[in-house]
Amino acid sequence: MKYISTRGASAPVTAEQAILTGIAPDGGLYLPETVPVFSKEDLAEIAASDYRSAALKVLRPYLPSFTDDELVSCVGEAYARFDTSEPVQFQDLGNGLNVMELWHGPTAAFKDMALQLFPRLMPLCKAKCGTAEETWILTATSGDTGKAALEGFCGVPGTRILVFYPYGGVSRIQELQMTTQQGDNVGVFAVRGNFDDAQTGVKRLFGDASLAADLAERGVRLSSANSINWGRLLPQIVYYVYASARLSVGGPVDFIVPTGNFGNIFAGYLAKLMGAPVGRLVCASNRNRVLTDFFETGVYDRRRPFYKTASPSMDILISSNLERLLYLASGRNAGRVAAWMRELAEQGSYAVPDSVMEPLRETFSFGFADDTATVEAISACWNEHRYLLDPHTAVGYAVYRELKNPSNPAVLVSTANPYKFAPDVLKAFGMSADGFEAQDLLGTETGVPVPASLSALREKTVRFDTVLSPEEMKTVLL
Ligand SMILES: *Cc1c(COP(=O)(O)O)cnc(C)c1O
């Protein structure tokens, strides 16, 4: 299986090349040239299996040069650090709604599902490509990716990881998770600006030819752990296939997905293309409702105010993975995708015709919730179900409650543990506090246990406290 660029001007590559390089030389994103399709028997087998076996079955066709032994050990190690034996947990809230908890990994957010597996693929990809280069992972983070990537790459031979997060743009707990990171191959920097500024800064480093030449002389190659990397997306397909196969009662299962960079929900779309019984995919946004407007109007317009919200990991105005959806939805029209992305870069917007939008609206539902609606959703869910949501998942719950007659069984994709965002969750109980005090109050109020990885932060010392402007990112890298 080869991987091709959504912008059509780069040569097809193998899976290991796609994962090593992250972004295609023409600026596009890699996608498999064909999507493998499961038979009914395959899906029945997945429905009856455990998560790790389901993962092997989904990964195999996408990584043809990996041996079964290699995949078994990568998957085994990836999910060994989760606090439950099955990495994905389901909570049945009744009335056909299940919550799929994806946050039982070491950093208490769903990013671990991919970022515990992806770094383990990396050394194998290098061996298969016959390269001895060091890989430096550059990551811009709106909060959760950074910590998950640090945990995933910490100590992985032949790699270093540098994380850039928006200064003042992540929660106190998220910041502490990153700035206390252990390991010799890690670096963490706060960047003045918002997430898009940090992400643009990282993209600029990737596009800097003289920097690449400089690093090549030192035997170093840059790569990315953002969800533009195929190695990040692939592990996320697994839980959509697995959940829909298990929870289907003959028909399709809908998923409500709190969305930012469009990576998580796009993995759900791929699961659907693979033949899994995925029904509608509900794209839930916070007040940064650029995707809601896009699905409504066909116009993607990033020229709008950027809001900091209670769901910071979704505070994004450029949803990179939408490019992959547009590529598939336009009938793999790379020329068109390249033109749209050029318009986005140059004018800040592009318009997609109805012929492409109409079929998409049959699969995707969409909606948004502002912070008030988010806090109300946390409160409603607690009062009705005694189930505690984090603000990101609560955006999804708020949008779900607004849906007109949800007809299929539905899965609310839960992307973070509530204690990661305790101050905002606490507002749903009419209280206010920050940091660990907020965790303590929330624990007393609800009796819901704090994950061990978050309690442990109280004892750790800060190792990284540098604040940079985006222009200084290249200097610290060098
Ligand atoms: C990253 C993240 C999201 C958004 O996921 P995308 O793949 O960027 O759409 C939602 N919730 C949480 C908690 C996250 O960490």
50-97 pLDDT tens trace: 999 999 999 999 999 999 999 999 999 999 999 999 999 999 999 999
CA 128 – ligand 1 centroid, Å: 31
CA triplet 364, 291, 88: central angle to 5 degrees? 60
Percent above pLDDT 90 for the chain: 90
In this structure, which residue's CA is closest to atom 1 in ligand 1?
A: 313
Is 109 a pocket residue for ligand 1 (Cβ < 6 Å)? yes
Is 416 a pocket residue for ligand 1 (Cβ < 6 Å)? yes
Is 324 a pocket residue for ligand 1 (Cβ < 6 Å)? no
Non-local (6+) Cβ contacts of 275 within 8 A are: 37, 38, 39, 43
**Per-residue pLDDT at 405:** 66
Is 120 a pocket residue for ligand 1 (Cβ < 6 Å)? no
The answer to whether residue 21 scores a pLDDT higher than 90 is no
Is 309 a pocket residue for ligand 1 (Cβ < 6 Å)? no
Tell me what the pLDDT averaged over the chain comes to. 95
CA 69 – ligand 1 centroid, Å: 31
Longest alpha-carbon distance in the chain: 61
Say how far apart CA 369 and CA 462 lie, in whole Å. Answer: 34
Give the least confident one: 311-315, 339-343, 397-401.
Answer: 311-315
The answer to whether residue 422 scores a pLDDT higher than 90 is yes
How do residues 334-349 score in pLDDT, each as one tens digit? Answer: 999 999 999 999 999 9
Is 285 a pocket residue for ligand 1 (Cβ < 6 Å)? no
Q: Which of 422, 432, 414, 428 is nearest to 379 (CA)?
A: 428
How do residues 24-52 score in pLDDT, each as one tens digit? Answer: 999 999 999 999 999 999 999 999 999 99
Atom of ligand 1 nearest to the CA of 415: 13
Per the CB < 8 A criterion, the answer to whether 282 and 399 are in contact is: yes
DSSP 37-89: ---HHHHHHHHHS-HHHHHHHHHGGG-TTS-HHHHHHHHHHHTTTSSSSSSSE
Is 181 a pocket residue for ligand 1 (Cβ < 6 Å)? no
Catalytic residues: 111
Atom of ligand 1 nearest to the CA of 261: 8
Is 198 a pocket residue for ligand 1 (Cβ < 6 Å)? no
Say how far apart CA 364 and CA 361 lie, in whole Å. Answer: 5
Percent above pLDDT 70 for the chain: 99
Amino acid in position 153 = F
In this structure, which residue's CA is closest to atom 2 in ligand 1?
A: 313
Atom of ligand 1 nearest to the CA of 144: 15
CA 113 – ligand 1 centroid, Å: 12
How do residues 255-265 score in pLDDT, each as one tens digit? Answer: 999 999 999 99
Is 267 a pocket residue for ligand 1 (Cβ < 6 Å)? no
Non-local (6+) Cβ contacts of 409 within 8 A are: 96, 97, 98, 247, 248, 249, 251, 253, 254
In this structure, which residue's CA is closest to atom 15 in ligand 1?
A: 144
Atom of ligand 1 nearest to the CA of 236: 7
Residue 200 DSSP class: H
CA 129 – ligand 1 centroid, Å: 31
CA 139 – ligand 1 centroid, Å: 14
Say how far apart CA 370 and CA 478 lie, in whole Å. Answer: 40
How do residues 428-442 score in pLDDT, each as one tens digit? Answer: 999 999 989 999 999
> Once rounded to an integer, what is the mean pLDDT over residues 286-299?
98
Is 259 a pocket residue for ligand 1 (Cβ < 6 Å)? yes
CA 82 – ligand 1 centroid, Å: 19
Q: Which of 211, 267, 203, 269 is nearest to 23 (CA)?
A: 203
Confidence band of 275 (pLDDT split at 50, 70, 90): very high
The answer to whether residue 404 scores a pLDDT higher than 80 is no
How do residues 440-469 score in pLDDT, each as one tens digit? Answer: 999 999 999 999 999 999 999 999 999 999
Q: Which of 261, 378, 393, 399 to mutate to test the pocket of ligand 1 (most atoms within 8 A of CB)?
A: 261
Q: Which of 264, 292, 395 to mutate to test the pocket of ligand 1 (most atoms within 8 A of CB)?
A: 264
Atom of ligand 1 nearest to the CA of 262: 9
**Per-residue pLDDT at 23:** 87
> Once rounded to an integer, what is the mean pLDDT over residues 201-217?
93
CA 323, distance to chain mean position in Å, is: 15
φ, ψ (nearest 5 deg) of residue 163:
-115, 135
CA 20 – ligand 1 centroid, Å: 23
The answer to whether residue 143 scores a pLDDT higher than 80 is no
Is 195 a pocket residue for ligand 1 (Cβ < 6 Å)? no
Per the CB < 8 A criterion, the answer to whether 2 and 13 are in contact is: yes
- Report whether CATH 3.40.50.300 matches the domain 89-108+231-449: no
CA triplet 343, 232, 314: central angle to 5 degrees? 60
φ, ψ (nearest 5 deg) of residue 315:
-85, 85
**Per-residue pLDDT at 335:** 98
Non-local (6+) Cβ contacts of 164 within 8 A are: 138, 139, 140, 141, 146, 189, 190, 191, 198, 201, 202, 468, 473
Q: Which two tokens stand for residue 464?
A: 């990284």
**Per-residue pLDDT at 211:** 96
> Once rounded to an integer, what is the mean pLDDT over residues 347-373?
97
Q: Which of 262, 415, 420 to mutate to test the pocket of ligand 1 (most atoms within 8 A of CB)?
A: 415
